[in-house]
Structure 1
């Protein structure tokens, strides 16, 4: 098939997301795939110092930052969603949409069989490319995550035209399905690049000097993270080294400066993350009470497990639903320190945890997705 994936995150980003994995798996099966991510606009030049913006402009200019055969496109549009969104809410016309036919011509794709959209800002793309099948694949409750009312309008419009809804969590599926209860649905949680995270890797040099036991968190440090719980963990359990991998601002560093056993190692390339996980003892997924967390399907969950780690995680309806035995749940921030200590004391059967993760490999996920599409 000719497949277009309209995603919120460009391939080559510091964050590897589900659309990247699904696109690669689809390409491995022999399909032609164009992965299109959120467009740039002339207004983005005002943020030129942002490295993420620079990377996206480089892709726009033809620089290859991803080694797969998937076409990685960051197109150009007239307006950013911040301006186009309110206009869309009033007029139902999306001025953020890029000149996608040009991208298709450049890569000899004369028609689209399957359009997968996980970025609601691409509303209206289905009219431009006229796919045989259109699937909306939300990975979060975007309107609540962003606080943007125009996103809710975009999603409502999408749900009136798509052929199927594929969601990564129960809460997201329930929220979106209300817009159009007649649309066929599939609950397909995010998966894991199993071989990448389970293949043995040498201990990184910057981890060797950090004493065990090591509790590790990999990801963004934003309002969706239970920073209060992490600080309590650092304060109450000085015997546990807290290793944090991901971009960190100066304010957060200052907030933890008094704790010598907290180690901010910065962002790491996706290729190197498994080594840090495999040489730690417990993984952390501390979620705040942010509204968007109720519907999250964190990829880190099974990446941690593929590396053999038990995971201490905040209770959410979605994660409780899964009943994974390697998860150790806590409720309030004040419970995190004790729960981490308990998880370490219990020890873990790394082989058994890896086996649980293997069921969620991306190749299995894409086959389930294609079966759903075949049955529409």
Structure 2
């Protein structure tokens, strides 16, 4: 089966040119070497109409651009809402245009030669996938959609997710999940085989051997130790834990990098945290520049909650942290436990603070070597190899 694929179409969760958030789908798109690669941006939604007349004028047609070896496609009419069947009309237009392109490039039997990759983050485009009718499709459960508060507390969004999951679990050639928790839950729910395949990392991008990183100006001259958290501040981040850490260790500098999704968090706690003298929130920074900031860190933090959607996750940031060789202190969710030989996995808030102290005092070259060796095993190219192997075995 591996030899027959000429193209891979990856349906994105984020726009390809979004430089502030990294995600699994774009990482895989870069790693699918040896194939023609097409990355499909998600619909932009109504927000695209604000001050973006250029997009609106071009929107009736597919917009294609080339970024290295990846062809990036912006679907037509991506601003149309779900109401009144307008989204379905946009899906039909997008599917027809993509089919014409693939048929032109690979012939009438293009479905035989094209592999589709869709993640659980693409729940708004069920109709688009249905109209494409792929013959070979990988579905990757990256999160437990049904457990997210923003989804389970909104009936319309929950039903949209349910319809998407039902469709993908029925029609996919291969179903993957990033955690054993997701494998167990969705295997039972849908009575089908689901394979475990976690996240990966661009090892070279974060390697401590890369000495070409310029200094991050915001952290120039900052007093040590520096505790760094990188990631979106949302419902699965324990902001109260960070606040308690900052209160009990005022001599430490806590730096936070990432966007804040205010509607999903306790704003009172977040605002109180930001106002503390030892805390610095820098907002989002481009993914390419993150190593510039990481080099200033004494310890990297992963302050996850123990909510259901957090327990089922496999944080991309965890693997990126590992590749830096810096000590990592994390709440001991299941994804962290397999790295317990070198990651400091906390049982609770007080333990998290104590382990941060330990990481600062005892981190050594032996632990660092173990951590860097582990990160090498999770390269994105190894993830691609596993996907292709499973397709060959199950096809």
Following superposition, the deviation at residue 70 of structure 1 comes to 1.1
Q: 2:36 aligns with which of 27, 32, 37?
A: 32
Following superposition, the deviation at residue 15 of structure 1 comes to 1.0
Match of 2:3 in 1: none
Following superposition, the deviation at residue 171 of structure 1 comes to 1.2
Match of 2:73 in 1: 73
State the aligned residue count.
360
Between the aligned partners of 2:323 and 2:296, the Cα distance in structure 1 is 13
Greater mean alpha carbon deviation, residues 74-83 or residues 159-168: 74-83
Spell out the pairing of 1:51-90 with structure 2 (5 A cutoff): 62=63, 67-77=67-77, 83=83
Q: 2:293 aligns with which of 266, 272, 276?
A: 276
Match of 1:193 in 2: 202
Between the aligned partners of 2:80 and 2:144, the Cα distance in structure 1 is 21
Greater mean alpha carbon deviation, residues 145-154 or residues 235-244: 145-154
Match of 2:355 in 1: 339
Alpha-carbon distance change, 239 to 269 in structure 1, aligned in 2, over 3 angstroms: same
Q: 1:7 aligns with which of 6, 12, 15?
A: 12
Following superposition, the deviation at residue 196 of structure 1 comes to 0.7
8 A Cα contact 1:40 1:76, kept in partner:
no
8 A Cα contact 1:117 1:137, kept in partner:
yes
Alpha-carbon distance change, 173 to 341 in structure 1, aligned in 2, over 3 angstroms: same
Q: 1:218 aligns with which of 219, 230, 234?
A: 230
TM-score of the aligned structures, taking structure 1 as reference length: 0.85
The yes-or-no answer on 1:319 pairing with 2:328 is: no
Query: Which stretches in structure 2 are left out of the alignment for 5+ residues?
Result: 1-5
The yes-or-no answer on 1:20 pairing with 2:23 is: no
Between the aligned partners of 2:317 and 2:342, the Cα distance in structure 1 is 13
Alpha-carbon distance change, 253 to 155 in structure 1, aligned in 2, over 3 angstroms: closer
8 A Cα contact 2:48 2:55, kept in partner:
no
Following superposition, the deviation at residue 168 of structure 1 comes to 1.2
Alpha-carbon distance change, 36 to 233 in structure 1, aligned in 2, over 3 angstroms: same
Match of 1:263 in 2: 280
Following superposition, the deviation at residue 298 of structure 1 comes to 0.8
Match of 2:97 in 1: 102
8 A Cα contact 2:48 2:79, kept in partner:
no
The yes-or-no answer on 1:177 pairing with 2:166 is: no
The yes-or-no answer on 1:361 pairing with 2:379 is: yes
8 A Cα contact 1:283 1:309, kept in partner:
yes
Match of 1:90 in 2: none
Alpha-carbon distance change, 227 to 5 in structure 1, aligned in 2, over 3 angstroms: same
Between the aligned partners of 2:388 and 2:73, the Cα distance in structure 1 is 23
TM-score of the aligned structures, taking structure 2 as reference length: 0.81
Between the aligned partners of 1:344 and 1:82, the Cα distance in structure 2 is 51
Secondary structure of residue in 2 paired with 1:5: strand
Q: 1:208 aligns with which of 212, 220, 224?
A: 220
Following superposition, the deviation at residue 137 of structure 1 comes to 0.6
CA displacement, residues 8-39 of structure 1 (integer Å, 9 cap, x when unaligned): 2221222111111111111x2x2111111322
Alpha-carbon distance change, 160 to 94 in structure 1, aligned in 2, over 3 angstroms: farther
Between the aligned partners of 2:145 and 2:249, the Cα distance in structure 1 is 35
8 A Cα contact 1:56 1:74, kept in partner:
no
Secondary structure of residue in 2 paired with 1:97: helix
Between the aligned partners of 1:203 and 1:213, the Cα distance in structure 2 is 17
8 A Cα contact 2:342 2:371, kept in partner:
yes
Query: Which stretches in structure 1 are left out of the alignment for 5+ residues?
Result: 88-92
Following superposition, the deviation at residue 204 of structure 1 comes to 1.8
8 A Cα contact 1:229 1:286, kept in partner:
yes
Between the aligned partners of 1:177 and 1:109, the Cα distance in structure 2 is 36
Between the aligned partners of 2:199 and 2:54, the Cα distance in structure 1 is 25
Match of 2:393 in 1: 375
Match of 2:116 in 1: 115
Secondary structure of residue in 2 paired with 1:23: helix
Secondary structure of residue in 1 paired with 2:31: helix
